[in-house]
Amino acid sequence: MENYQLTEVHRKLLEKYGLSDMDTRCFIHWYKAGETIHNEGEPYQHLIMLVSGKAKVCTTASNGKDLVLSYYVSGGLIGDMELASTTNTGTASVVALSPVECLVIPYQHQRNFLLENLTFVQHLARGLSEKLLLSSQNYVSTALYTGEQRLCSYILQGAYKGYFQDNLTDVAATIGMSYRHMFRLLKNLCEEGILERENHSFLILEEEELQARSSEAASKHD
């Protein structure tokens, strides 16, 4: 993790959220792929806004496996659920999947200011509603769609710049299938020229075909 000062781009982002008055308190963190941005159970003393890159949100099950709950892309807020619910500790871990640039917004003594700021609250509510909708969609996907459809959707959500790279054991647990079955599906996608294995990642060769086989595509025909 590396720290940097704010630029004009970051100040405009704060202005968009109605937080220009807090720019002197904010700073920038850069995380490398694989680094933990926030650990489940650790206290939150700030909001984190993703400026660039991609990260995953996961929780650890009793068997030690990580279950991925959602993905963040540029502009997403980390710690928004905890702020809105007055929960002091992180309800999930956030891990960088690529180089991630974060705008850190301390709020130890500014919680009331944030929650009384209409512009910020509108963005906060919109982000939380989008996460609730995604959670509902993921639940429906697990209950109603095939293993291949769930896997294709997961790959599309988790891909960054055309590559998908994640812990495959955790992927299998998240989409609700055995590791062996998931690996067989990945092998089939590679043999059909949709994916290509490159060391510990998969290059997406045919994104349109992957989308056509996803849960989202299937739901449009239901």
pLDDT digits (tens, 9 = 90+) for 3-38: 778 999 999 999 999 999 998 889 999 999 889 999
Q: What is the pLDDT of residues 174-202, one digit of tens each?
A: 888 999 999 999 999 999 999 999 988 99
Within-domain flag for 2? no
On whether both 157 and 207 belong to a single domain, the answer is yes
On whether both 100 and 204 belong to a single domain, the answer is no
Average pLDDT of the chain is: 88
On whether both 32 and 130 belong to a single domain, the answer is yes
Question: Residue 27, Cβ neighbours under 10 Å: how many?
Answer: 17
96 versus 132: the higher-pLDDT residue is 96
d(CA 7, CA 205): 36
On whether both 89 and 124 belong to a single domain, the answer is yes
In terms of residue numbers, what domain contains 162?
A: 145-218
Instruction: Show the tokens assigned to 50.
Output: 């993703």
Range from 86-95, 138-147, 184-193, 197-206 carrying the lowest mean pLDDT:
138-147
On whether both 92 and 157 belong to a single domain, the answer is no
Contacts with 151 (C-beta within 8 Å, 6 or more apart), sequence order: 171, 175, 177, 182, 185, 186, 189
- pTM, two decimal places: 0.81
On whether both 48 and 126 belong to a single domain, the answer is yes
Determine contact, residues 68/151, Cβ cutoff 8 Å. no
Within-domain flag for 65? yes
What pLDDT was estimated at residue 221?
59
Residue 136 has pLDDT above 80, yes or no: no
Q: What is the pLDDT of residues 43-76, one digit of tens each?
A: 988 999 999 999 988 888 777 777 888 777 777 8
d(CA 175, CA 167): 13
What pLDDT was estimated at residue 141?
66
Contacts with 54 (C-beta within 8 Å, 6 or more apart), sequence order: 71, 72, 73, 96, 97, 98, 100, 160
On whether both 88 and 115 belong to a single domain, the answer is yes
How many domains does the chain contain in total?
Answer: 2
CATH of the domain at 85: 2.60.120.10
Within-domain flag for 100? yes
On whether both 208 and 112 belong to a single domain, the answer is no
